[in-house]
Amino acid sequence: MTGVAFKVSRNTRLSVAAVWGGVAAALVLVSVPLWGSPALMRWAVEVMCYLVLAQMWNLMAGYGGLMSVGLQAFVGVGAYSIFVFAQHMGMHPFLAIPLGGVMAAIAAIATAPLVFRMRGGYFAIGTWVLAEVFRIIFSNISLLGGGSGQSLTVMARIDRSTREIGVYLIAAGILIAASLAINLMLRSRFGLGLTAIRDSEDAAESQGVDVKALKLQVYTLASFGAGLVGAVYFTSILRISPNAAFDANWVVASVFIVVIGGIGTLEGPILGTAIFFALRWLLADYGAWYWLVMGAVAVAVVVFAPAGIWGYVRARWDLQLLPLQRRLILSGRGPQRRETGLEFTGDAEAGRM
Amino acid sequence: MSVLLSFENVSKSFGALRVTDDLSFEVRKGEALGVLGPNGAGKTTVFNLITGGLAPDGGRIRFAGQDIARLTPHKRCRAGIGRSYQVALPFEGMTVFENLLVGAMFGAQNRTAKEADGRCVELLERTGLLDKANRLAGSLTLLDRKRLELARALATDPQLLLLDEIAGGLTEQEAHALIELVNDIRARGVTIVWIEHVVHALLAVASRLLVINFGAKLAEGDPRAVMASADVKRVYMGIEV
């Protein structure tokens, strides 16, 4: 046994401040219906959907090492679930939203044996193909409007302000719950294993981490989150089509946000989403320039800060806003420890060389 | 002494290249087996066969009486096989302390977070990494990476510890302290298999030697007798021993 007195802490002064900042942000988010316009709420729903989707992609790719480009498959399944349960089975749309996540998770588990046979680039393409297959299948279901899609007419039964505030609060709730859940998860044993996988799959496996099982779990979780995003987003815009629901741009935006912000960090998707929407707003009137600048920004970040902007900041100043890291704090250590511990730097005897 | 690990006529080929050729040997509980052989002789392949990174084409591998050929690598770790890699593979984005926590929580003992904390502090102290506990593993020097590699393997509470060229690139003093550490680990009841090119380091620890050449056993037995044998001298000719 060790004679060293110690304690383990995750909190730094900065991280405590960041947590309170997060609580304040959550309160502001929830208060928006009291003072915000419907246009602001609609815009905020979109921002929050992109942020949650980016968090999901980050969890799956950044931590689980699963470079999926088919997350839109589960956005679409979640979105269509709303139309099945609310439009065709008479369920209240707001209650059907969680079912969107559940259906997406079921779809993920059911198709995982197919895509998990593949690795690396093949896995990426495999997930993309899966999303395309889903799109084609839903294009051929005439109950759901086939290729041209349909409108969520049941929402007309709910009055306008209840509808707008309800959808807004559900989206805000999903964002807050997702942020909280990801934080708590990454602090747990599961998160420790996942972070190990992020850094080296081979080493994680040789340290007893069941890499395959953890990957499947994180893939299912990310799909559940993507399903929720699809459900709430299409409840907000009231219309769906297979091309919009299974649009590859869902995952393209997520990848952009996460890579720019900082892959494998919790702060990255938040920063990335802010940059993504700022660029979109700044360049909204410039047509093709929008895409050129987005591309240039992506290239610049990948070249100059391969770990993303937050990854660069973290490495440069050793910053960590969200309290994940376990810091070992030693107490009551005397100078005599150097003689008792096994040191083999040999620096005390360097003069002998 | 009872047998902890055994290879029975194990073979492995990469295409036409036979990297493990009908190899049989035993590792007894509590011993320190040194593994020698020229570059490319198939030493690391033997480790990969033991830890499950590779599946044998033929033959049987038993650990603690159980045939482990079908077990995945993480289950072999939980069964009590620990390993340090030749090229250190730390979890670079995690601190040194967190690196050890992974093995302490997912390894053979399956500890709670609280128990794991204490175990990791103890290992950090034994391996001289306590001062660097909160450093990111990616920022460590080569020597510290080697220490971390060893500490991390110990964190999984192995019955059998596989060491792959941990003394390479160290100064004499560093190697000496490393030998002390390995002997200390063995004194605590861990069985050791050590692949090493630094022969004097190996001889300071090994109770028995196994020499592999072209994937087959060339010699096995008492270290001094093995080093004196004509076959081993021939294979090692030109290499200062």
A3 to chain B: closest CA residue = B122
**pLDDT at res. A1:** 52
Count of alpha carbons within 13 angstroms of residue A134, beta-carbon side = 30
| Domain count of the fold of chain A | 1
Residues B200 and B190 in one domain: yes
Distances A52 to A72, A260, B198 between C-alpha atoms, Å: 13, 16, 53
Residue of B51, B95, B106, B188 for testing the chain A interface, max A β-carbons within 10 Å: B106
Smallest Cα distance from B15 to chain A, Å: 22
Q: Which of residues 208-227 of B touch A (CB under 8 A)?
A: none
Domain stops at, among B156, B184, B210: B156
Under a CB-based contact definition with an 8 Å cutoff, are residues A253 and A275 in contact? Answer: no
Provide the domain limits for residue A170. 14-327
In this predicted model, what pLDDT tens digit does every residue of A149-171 receive, in sequence order? Answer: 999 988 888 999 999 999 999 99
Own/partner pairs, A159-163, CB within 8 angstroms, 24+ separation: A161/A38
**pLDDT at res. A341:** 39
Residue A70 included in any domain? yes
Under a CB-based contact definition with an 8 Å cutoff, are residues A189 and A57 in contact? Answer: no
Top pLDDT among A320 and B226 is at B226
Residues B147 and B162 in one domain: no
Q: How many residues does chain A have?
A: 353
Does B210 score more than 60 pLDDT? yes
Domain stops at, among B103, B135, B156: B156
Query: What is the C-alpha to C-alpha distance for residues A341 and A325, in angstroms, rounded to an integer?
Result: 25
- A225-229, A256-260, A348-352, B166-170: the lowest-pLDDT one: A348-352
Contact A205 B74 (CB under 8 A): yes
Residues B63 and B162 in one domain: yes
CA dihedral B115, B117, B122, B125 (to 10 degrees): 180
CB contact B94 to A (< 8 Å): yes
Contact A6 B108 (CB under 8 A): no
CA A179 to chain centre: 9
Residues B181 and B209 in one domain: yes
**pLDDT at res. B49:** 94
Residue A96 included in any domain? yes
Contact B103 A346 (CB under 8 A): no
Residue A335 included in any domain? no
Query: What is the C-alpha to C-alpha distance for residues B95 and B87, in angstroms, rounded to an integer?
Result: 19
Does A133 score more than 60 pLDDT? yes
In this predicted model, what pLDDT tens digit does every residue of B27-54 receive, in sequence order? Answer: 999 999 999 988 888 889 999 999 998 9
CA A209 to chain centre: 22
Contact B177 A192 (CB under 8 A): no
Residue A341 included in any domain? no
Burial of B187 (0-12, 13-18, 19+ CB in 10 A): exposed
Contact B73 A212 (CB under 8 A): no
Provide the domain limits for residue B224. 1-80+158-241
Instruction: Considering only the beta carbons, identify the residue of A2, A207, A349 that sits closest to B121.
Output: A2
Q: Which residues in chain A have Cβ-Cβ distances shorter than 8 Å to B121?
A: 2, 4, 6, 328
CB contact B79 to A (< 8 Å): no
Contact A200 B101 (CB under 8 A): no
In this predicted model, what pLDDT tens digit does every residue of B179-203 receive, in sequence order? Answer: 888 999 999 999 999 998 888 889 9
Contact A346 B173 (CB under 8 A): yes
Query: What is the C-alpha to C-alpha distance for residues B168 and B196, in angstroms, rounded to an integer?
Result: 8
Where does the pLDDT of residue A84 fall: very low under 50, low under 70, confident under 90, or very high at 90 and above?
Answer: very high
Under a CB-based contact definition with an 8 Å cutoff, are residues B40 and B157 in contact? Answer: no
Contact A341 B130 (CB under 8 A): yes
Residue A215 included in any domain? yes
Residues B171 and B220 in one domain: yes
Reduced to 3 states (helix: H, G, I; strand: E, B; else coil), residue A263 is coil
Contact A326 B98 (CB under 8 A): yes
Residues B116 and B76 in one domain: no
Does B240 score more than 70 pLDDT? no
**pLDDT at res. B237:** 56
Q: Which residues contact B134 (CB under 8 A, 6 or more apart)?
A: A327, A328, B95, B96, B97
CB contact B231 to A (< 8 Å): no
Residues B162 and B44 in one domain: yes
Smallest Cα distance from A256 to chain B, Å: 22
**pLDDT at res. A335:** 43
Query: What is the C-alpha to C-alpha distance for residues A119 and A64, in angstroms, rounded to an integer?
Result: 12
Domain stops at, among B121, B156, B191: B156
Residues B146 and B187 in one domain: no
| Domain count of the fold of chain B | 2
CB contact B69 to A (< 8 Å): no
Instruction: Tell me if the pTM is above 0.90.
Output: no
Residues B139 and B111 in one domain: yes
Residue A332 included in any domain? no
**pLDDT at res. A347:** 40
Q: Which residues in chain B have Cβ-Cβ distances shorter than 8 Å to A339?
A: none
Smallest Cα distance from B103 to chain A, Å: 5
Contact B128 A192 (CB under 8 A): no
Residues B5 and B101 in one domain: no
**pLDDT at res. A119:** 85
Where does the pLDDT of residue B239 fall: very low under 50, low under 70, confident under 90, or very high at 90 and above?
Answer: low
**Residues of chain A with a CB closer than 8 angstroms to some CB in chain B:** 1-2, 4, 6, 8, 189, 192-193, 195-196, 198-200, 202-212, 264, 325-328, 330, 337, 341-346, 349, 353
Residue A350 included in any domain? no
What DSSP state is assigned to residue B107? Answer: S
Residues B115 and B147 in one domain: yes
Query: What is the C-alpha to C-alpha distance for residues A65 and A119, in angstroms, rounded to an integer?
Result: 10
Residues B76 and B164 in one domain: yes
ipTM: 0.88
In this predicted model, what pLDDT tens digit does every residue of A52-79 receive, in sequence order? Answer: 999 999 999 999 889 999 999 999 999 9
Residue A174 included in any domain? yes
